[in-house]
């Protein structure tokens, strides 16, 4: 889900939260799994593993041809899992198509060298709808994941 946040909050997120905003009496809650709708799980699996380099974390048959299929960044095997969720539900399909038609990425990924990744992925046939472009505190590029989604790739500016 793409959530627009103010530039100030975004800058705070990029820098990390100040110590004064942390409370010792509040348990730490972390994101474990987030999902994106895909029009074809097998195609999505190939894209996210073969092209982006993610690793399969879970691949559990659910019946009816669906799977609980998650991938993780290769350097974060215990990090946030990305669930490649079938968009078979009409509401999911409408939501996915609406975001795409509006040009809104469903996911933001981070890299240390956006130009290198842009060039590498473009050479592999990934279609970019926006090349690396300065956008405030980050340089952003947007690409098509071939499964119905736009994805933003970002690098901190400077």
8 assigned to some structural domain: no
Residue 13 has pLDDT above 80, yes or no: no
126 in a structural domain: yes
Q: Does 21 fall in a domain?
A: no
Whole-model pTM: value is: 0.81
Domains of the chain: total: 1
pLDDT at 106: 97
Tens-digit pLDDT profile for residues 119-142: 999 999 999 999 999 999 999 999
User: HSE on the CB side for 154, CA within 13 Å?
Assistant: 15
Taken in order 34, 36, 41, 44, is the CA torsion positive or negative?
Answer: negative
- Work out the mean pLDDT of the chain and round it to a whole number: 88
Specify if 23 maps to a domain: no
Angle at 47 between CA 34 and CA 141, to 5 degrees: 75
Q: Is residue 1 part of a domain?
A: no
**Predicted local confidence at residue 21, as pLDDT:** 62
Please indicate, yes or no, if residue 91 is contained in any of the structural domains: yes
Q: Is 50 exceeded by the pLDDT of residue 71?
A: yes
Strands 107-110 and 150-156: parallel
DSSP 8-state secondary structure symbol assigned to residue 52: T
Flag the least confident range among 12-26, 46-60, 69-83. Answer: 12-26
99 in a structural domain: yes
Identify the helix (H) or strand (E) that includes residue 58: strand 55-63
Going by pLDDT thresholds of 50, 70 and 90, the confidence category of residue 92 is very high
Q: What value does the mean pLDDT take over residues 102-129?
A: 97
State how far the Cα of 105 lies from the Cα of 121, in Å rounded to an integer: 17
Higher per-residue pLDDT: 36 or 10: 36
C-beta separation of 112 from 128 below 8 A: no
d(CA 38, CA 144): 12
Q: How far apart are CA 48 and CA 104, in angstroms?
A: 19
Mean pLDDT, residues 92-114 taken together: 96
What is the span of the domain harbouring residue 99?
Answer: 30-156
Contact 151, 109 (CB under 8 A): yes
pLDDT of the residue at 26: 80
State the Rg of the chain over Cα.
Answer: 17
* 64 has pLDDT over 90: no
The answer to whether residue 67 is domain-embedded is: yes
Report the CATH number at residue 39. Answer: 3.10.180.10
């Amino acid at each position: 889900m793409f959530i627009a946040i103010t530039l100030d909050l975004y800058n705070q997120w990029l820098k990390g939260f100040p110590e004064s905003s942390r409370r010792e009496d509040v348990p730490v809650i972390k994101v474990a799994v987030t999902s994106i709708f895909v029009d074809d799980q097998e195609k999505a699996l190939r894209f996210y593993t073969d092209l982006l380099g993610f690793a399969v974390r879970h691949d559990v048959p659910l019946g009816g041809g669906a799977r609980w299929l998650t991938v993780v960044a290769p350097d974060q095997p215990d990090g946030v899992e990305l669930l490649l969720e079938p968009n078979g539900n009409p509401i999911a399909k409408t939501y996915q198509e609406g975001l795409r038609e509006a040009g809104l990425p469903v996911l933001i990924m981070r890299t240390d060298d956006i130009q290198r990744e842009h060039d590498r992925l473009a050479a592999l046939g990934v279609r970019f709808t926006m090349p690396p472009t300065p956008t405030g505190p980050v340089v952003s590029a947007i690409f098509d994941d071939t499964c119905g989604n736009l994805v933003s790739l970002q690098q901190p500016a400077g």
